[in-house]
Structure 1
Amino acid sequence: MPTKGMSPVSFSPSRASPSPSPSPSHHSPSSSPPTPRKTLSSSMIAENVDTAESIIRKWSVEDGSSSYCRLDSVFANDRTEAKDFLRSVKNIQSAMQFFVSEGTSSSSEQLVRAQKLMQMAMKRLQKEFHRILSSNRNNLDPESVSSRSSVSMSDFEDYEVASEEDDIQVTGNSVHEIVAGDSVSDLAMADLKAIADSMISSGYSKECMKIYKLVRKSILDENLYYLGVEKLSLSQIQKLDWDMVEGKIKSWLNAVKTAVKTLFLGERILCDVVFSTSPKISESCFAEIARDNAVTLFSFPEHVAKYKKLSPEKMFRLLDIYDSITDLWTEIESIFSFDSTSAVRSQAVNSLTKLGESVRAMLLDFETAIQKEGSKAPIQGGGVHPLTRYVMNYVGFLSDYSGTLSDILSDSPQNTRSPLPESYFSSPTCDDGSTSALSVRLAWLILVVLCKLDAKAEQYKDVALSYLFLANNLNYAVSKVRKSNLKLLLGEEWIENHEATLKQYTANYERMGWSKVLTSLPEENPTAEISPLEAREFFRRFNSGFEEAYKKQMSWVVPDARLRDEIKVSLAMKLVPAYTSFYNKYRGFFGREVGVVEPVVRYAPDDLGNYLSDLFYGTGAGSGSVSSSVSSSGRKVR
């Protein structure tokens, strides 16, 4: 757990700059005196050093005679002080270069003096650098910094310290004029950049980097901790039950976008701005601050992909993780573009690879599970089998991840050859004209379950019920395809082909389930002239066949209302017109038959629709109605 707050930075004594050994200069009487130009330059340099010394000593962190409290900041309140201080550092740099070029004894003494002043100035700048980083934790939080991602880095290129001959005007609250806006974060970034530029140009880049890395890594660690990012090994993941793993997956999914687009992006931008004069330093700081944390973030998906208890039901969480990484891939490549952060990109790619392998393995496991499903008891009433519901719902959910699954399956060896003919689909197709790997895989899974259902239909002793079972299940599958993304993947032709098969199943059901009723009337002409005895026999056969079919099918079920009405209408159209013609022709032969125990004419044509409306609810008493012109007469079957 990252330590809250910042640990104080211990500033080490300034680097020991080697003092050049003074070489006494031996002037012979014949030596020519220095030129007036040289004397003038020496005088100006000495004056600049004197001025710089007064300013640097004023802010010295180790000069006990200073009247300024060590808690005071050069960069607070009066910004002119900060500008003068940075200009003094630049003047000391120029003086040191001049003294080195002189090489005289007096120059060597001045060089030592300038070096001590430079060390003194660098200690103050280290203190200021740490103070600005620490006191602006909220203003330099990654979210604030990352919001600058739309602003060109050139906005900060104007933050150059003016040279001593420039007429400097204080125009803002920072040492430099803020081009992109005067927000507090902009001001802090500008001040940090100015200090970093000064320290780097003075040869103190290591000290500057040490402070920066220490403060910013602590902030990043803390932010990632509060996001819920944990460093978990594969062995730790394997010991957890799935509910706990799923909880950590949810936390990871909630954290990864913020981590990449806010935290890591903010750190990259801040590094690029503060160390804009040295891309190598910027890379080094960012890599040390962010690399390990980012690798930790993207190693979690790989560990999940290797979880030993994965089953097809868990696939969707893996697809969610895969989605998150691919959605962020552009940012990952951009933010971690350095060679020193290539481990982050490699880890992200590795996680995608392992996730893809696990998803493909779970698809194979899912297909195997369908084939091995071994329930023996037939579904009561020929309704939709739980296997059909499970598979179609599962495949429907898979279609919601079509883009992700297409990526995963496109390079899968199992999909190099399709087990299905090209004519099985109408759309979509790949660039080469072949059917997409995902379409083939999903269609294959549906075909596997439909074949499994064909075998299960044989469990019914009544052939008509087995066809009704097949119709119910195929209708469920087609409806799921039509109402989901599967329609786009499998195409309209797939739907049309299977709807044609569905019609064959319902036709077979009608033929096998109502054959006695349909053949109980004169086949060629219901109104042909027959004797009353023959008419009585036809009525008897019709009554017997209708009652037998009705009583048996009262327990059968068609869950889908649309299919239920279509079957009822189809039966009514086949039964009612023929029976009505026969009824109208021969009903008069038998009168009202008052007191007869079993009347010859038991049903009026209007009764048939009422009786049919009771069917396919799976109970002894129906409650539906069929969309037909048949009306109820209130008569009941005895």
Structure 2
Amino acid sequence: MGKHLFRSSPPPEKPTAHLSLAESAVQECMSNINTVISKWTSPAASSSDEFLFSTNSRREAEEFVTAVRHLQSTMHRLVSVNPSSEKLIYAQNLMQSAMKLLESEFHRVLKANREYLDPECVSVRSYRSSRFSTSTTTSVSDSEDESSYEENADEEHRFSGGDSDAMDDLKMIADCMISTGYAKECVRVYKTVRKSIVDETLHNLQMERFNLHQVQKMDWEILESKIKTWLKAVKLAVRKLFFGERILADHVFSSSGLIVESSFTEITQEGALILFTFPEYASKIKKLTPEKMFRFLDMYEALANLYVEIESIFYFESAAAVRSQVINSLARLGDATRLMMTDFESAIQKETSKTPIIGGGVHPLTRYVMNYLSFLADYSDSISAIFENWKLSVPTPLPDSLYISGGDEANPEDLYSSPVSVRIAWVILLTLCKIDGKAQPYKDVALSYLFLANNLQYVVVKVRSSTLKVLLGDDWVFRHEEKVKLYADKFEKLAWGRVLDLLPEIPTDEISPEEAKVLVARFNDEFETSYRKQTSWVIPDPKLRDQIKITLSQKLMLVCTEFYRMNRFAYGMVGDNEAISRYTPEDIGNYLSDLYFGSRGSGSVSTAGGSGSGSGSGTGSSSTGKARGGRSSH
């Protein structure tokens, strides 16, 4: 409470014969004002536990503020009537005491209602319901601008949460102190209290002040942890802390845009710069590897998504440093991302492993690249901005096998307008180029084509089942699916060609029993050789496996069935007490099922013939087949 700095009533004027009517009116007004103000500024009021701005005395608070305004206007009138009046000194003391009380109440309301004036509470209902226009941020140089400012501020408050009485009390006090020339005292209290809250909130969000050297010295595990913390904090800081502070400042100081700007900027700028500088420092670490890219994209995406809100909250000219820092951090994050992408492409080109993958399965390089790209595609908006003006340099020559009919795949820029699509198509092309080279060491050409089919199918499935399909398009998927079929066809011809060549083109043609016997014996040998060779080969993708099995069955089973029907006697011939034929059409079907599916037909295979070799082939295939069936093509 303010101290009693004045007498309880205004000093009477010395009687004069010519006391004007105006002076009499001023004296009466001063007496009435003194009664209202003294009630709350007297020594008795100072010792009371009752506060002016409380629920029980809200009407009296309004009367007090009204009395202060009347006091100010009365002082102006008094100056015009009698500039040397003793009442001016008394009025000035009365005004100072009233301002001291209002300043004390302003501080008390700010502190006592901290929970309700917490930025999160203030902003929770305001978020996305209120946007700042340029009219709410310019200086109020004339009455029209000032009126517009107050209307906007009132509209924002209508959507705000927190304790509306506290916010209204603060506004009432601020308006009164500003209008009576005590804005400096009011703003000083406001800045001190609110800045401590902003600093404490950022501390609770685990935001620390780092310099570049400190960040560069951090181990990646520590820095990654700091990045995760930052990602959680930045959204809360922008959408609740800074937004809430802006709403509160706009409401409390709605009578002056200049005060809103100066108070808000001074309260939030230091913390905002600490928050928005961190991504720039993180982008300048010395060991940027491709595996770290996604954390930097997380930061880029977070800042980019918040930029419009940051720009509107920190619209003021005095907050230009905050906006500039956000733009600078986005630029540095983009630089870091492009550098890591270049290293990623370089790592693919430098991959030199020469050991063939057992069974012709999917190469680890293919899995790594496609998993990486499928994750990268989830950041399509961010990388579109980052790659926008990044020119792709395609080295030549590239292997002829990379050219696919229907599109010059070795020149991605001719196929796509999107820089992201161009870049991703190029990385896949690099990978397929490497895989093409890794097929060469296989001694069995059929296995090399199976290897190519498996790897390209893995690529296609990854594209089809992720955001990559949106970036590369249906045409890309179709063309590469056709190439998978081409590889699969070549595999079938090379792996089963000798078996298929033994079957007559017209299986219903009549041949002699001896010719049939020789043909059946050769067919048995070739089928078993092809079957045994493939028991260790793998086809991880179920769709590709099914496609090959169906195609092969159509080519093999139809002819075998007709030939078996026409030459059944040859299958029944016996030589040296051993059946010549070990593979009836039903047995062949079971063997193919066991070879390409593992879990089907293994029982029939083991009893299909009398020889141990048939049983052994079936068992071996069953075990490897189950392993294939259990692997994911993703």
TM above 0.5, yes or no, is yes
Q: 2:558 aligns with which of 562, 577, 591?
A: 577
Instruction: Please list every run of 5 or more consecutive structure 1 residues that lacks an aligned counterpart in the other structure.
Output: 1-9, 15-26, 28-32, 158-175
What is aligned with 1:69? 47
How far did residue 99 of structure 1 move?
2.9
For residue 355 of structure 2, the aligned residue among 377, 382, 404 is 377
* Equivalent residues in 2 for 1:146-161, closer than 5 Å: 146-147=123-124, 149=126, 150=129
State yes or no: 1:553 paired with 2:534.
yes
Please tell me whether the aligned partners of residues 609 and 631 of structure 1 are also in contact (alpha carbons under 8 angstroms): no
Letter matched to residue 333 of structure 1: E
Matched-pair contact (CA < 8 Å) for 2:450–2:487: yes
Distance in 1, Cα, partners of 2:309 & 2:571: 89
Q: Which residue of 1 is the match for residue 594 of structure 2? A: 614
CA-to-partner distance for each residue in 1:467-520, whole Å, 9 max, x for gaps? 000011111111111111111211111111111111111111111112221222
Q: Which residue of 2 aligns with 1:95?
A: 74
1:347 and 2:325 matched? yes
CA contact (8 A) 2:348 2:431 kept: yes
Change (3 A) 1:67 1:208: closer
Is contact 1:56-1:121 (8 Å) kept? yes
TM-score (norm 2): 0.83
> Is the 1:140–1:185 contact (alpha carbons within 8 Å) kept by the matching residues of 2?
yes
Compared CA separation, residues 57 and 603, structure 1 to 2 (3 A): same
Counterpart mapping for 1:316-331 below 5 A:
316-331=294-309
Q: Is the CA contact (8 Å cut-off) linking 1:153 and 1:273 kept in structure 2?
A: no
1:396 and 1:486 in contact (8 A); partners too: yes
Look up the match of 2:417. Answer: 435
Contact kept? 1:468, 1:506, Cα under 8 Å: yes
Deviations, residues 222-242 of structure 1 (Å, cap 9, x unaligned): 122212222222222222222
In structure 1, C-alpha distance between the alignment counterparts of 2:551 and 2:404, rounded to whole Å: 34
Measure how far apart 1:616 and its partner are.
4.5
- Deviation sequence 1:563-587 (CA, Å, 0-9, x none): 1122122222222222333333334
Q: How far does the alpha carbon of each residue in 1:246-272 deviate from its partner, in whole angstroms, 9 at most, with x for none?
A: 222222122221211111111111111
Q: 2:101 aligns with which of 124, 141, 148?
A: 124
Q: Match of 2:28, as an amino acid?
A: E
- Check conservation: 2:125, 2:161, Cα contact below 8 A: no
CA deviation profile, 1:181-214 (whole Å, cap 9, x unmatched): 9987111111111111111112111111110000
**1:83-482 counterparts in 2 under 5 A?**
83-102=62-81, 104-105=83-84, 107=85, 109-147=86-124, 149=126, 150=129, 180=158, 185-414=163-392, 424=407, 435-482=417-464
Bigger helix share: 2
- Contact in 2 for aligned 1:360/1:409 (Cα 8 Å): yes
- Equivalent residue number for residue 142 of structure 2: none
1:52 equivalent in structure 2: 33
Letter in 2 for 1:513: A
Distance 1:445 1:241, change over 3 A: same
2 CA distance for matches of 1:152 and 1:452? 52
Report deviation, 1:422: 13
Cα deviation 1:360-384 (Å, max 9, x = unaligned): 1111111111111121211100011
Query: 1:293 and 1:499, CA in 2 relative to 1: closer, same or farther beyond 3 A?
Result: same
With structure 1 as the length reference, what TM-score do the two structures score?
A: 0.82
What is the match of residue 483 of structure 2?
501
- Asked whether the 8 Å contact 1:554–1:616 carries over to 2, the reply is no
1:567 and 2:544 are equivalent in the alignment? no
Q: Is the 8 A contact 1:227 1:255 kept in 2?
A: yes
Instruction: Report the AA paired with residue 377 of structure 1.
Output: T
Once residues 61 and 235 of structure 2 are traced to their aligned partners in structure 1, the CA distance between those partners, rounded to angstroms, is: 39
Superposed displacement of residue 387, structure 1: 1.0
Q: Compute the displacement of 1:68 (Å).
A: 3.8
Q: Distance in 1 between matches of 2:130 and 2:362?
A: 59
Residue 567 of structure 2: SS of its match in structure 1? helix
Instruction: Say if 1:540 and 1:600, in contact at 8 Å, map to a contact too.
Output: yes
Secondary structure at 2:387 match in 1: helix
The amino acid that maps onto 1:488 is V
CA distance in 2, matches of 1:282, 1:245: 36
TM-aligned CA deviation for residue 302 of structure 1: 1.5
Specify the SS of the correspondent of 2:574.
Answer: coil
Aligned-partner Cα distance in 1 for 2:452–2:317: 60
Counterpart CA distance in 2 for 1:538 and 1:288 is 95
Residue aligning to 1:7: none
Q: Is contact 1:422-1:435 (8 Å) kept?
A: no
- Which residue identity is paired with 1:438? V
State how far apart, in whole Å, the 2-side matches of 1:489 and 1:152 are: 34
Aligned partners of 2:279 and 2:299 also within 8 Å: yes
**In structure 2, how many angstroms separate the alpha carbons of the residues matched to 1:241 and 1:412?**
30
Q: How far apart are residue 140 of structure 1 and its match? A: 1.0
Matched-pair contact (CA < 8 Å) for 2:510–2:566: no
CA displacement at 1:55 relative to structure 2: 3.6
Q: Say whether the 8 Å CA contact 1:604–1:633 is kept in structure 2.
A: no
Q: Does 1:623 align with 2:603?
A: no
Say whether the 8 Å CA contact 2:242–2:268 is kept in structure 1: yes
State the alpha-carbon separation in 2 of the partners of residues 49 and 229 from structure 1: 54
Which amino acid in 2 is paired with 1:330? V
What RMSD, in angstroms, separates the aligned Cα atoms of the two structures? 3.5
Name the CA distance, whole Å, in 1 between partners of 2:231 and 2:204.
Answer: 14
Distance apart, 1:300 and its partner CA: 1.4
Query: Structure 2 vs 1, CA of residues 322 and 421 (structure 1 numbering), >3 Å: closer, same or farther?
Result: farther
Deviations 1:154-190 (A, max 9, x none): 9xx9xxxxxxxxxxxxxxxxxx9x9959987111111
- Letter of the structure 2 residue corresponding to residue 605 of structure 1: P
> Residues 104 and 531 (structure 1 numbering): CA distance in 2 closer, same or farther, change over 3 Å?
closer
Instruction: Give the length in aligned residue pairs.
Output: 571
Give how far 1:153 is off. 10
Against the structure 1 CA distance between its residues 303 and 223, is the aligned structure 2 distance closer, same or farther, given a 3 Å change threshold?
Answer: same
Q: Distance in 2 between matches of 1:311 and 1:13?
A: 70
Aligned equivalent of 1:5: none
Structure 1 pair 121–330 and aligned structure 2 pair: CA distance change class (3 A): same
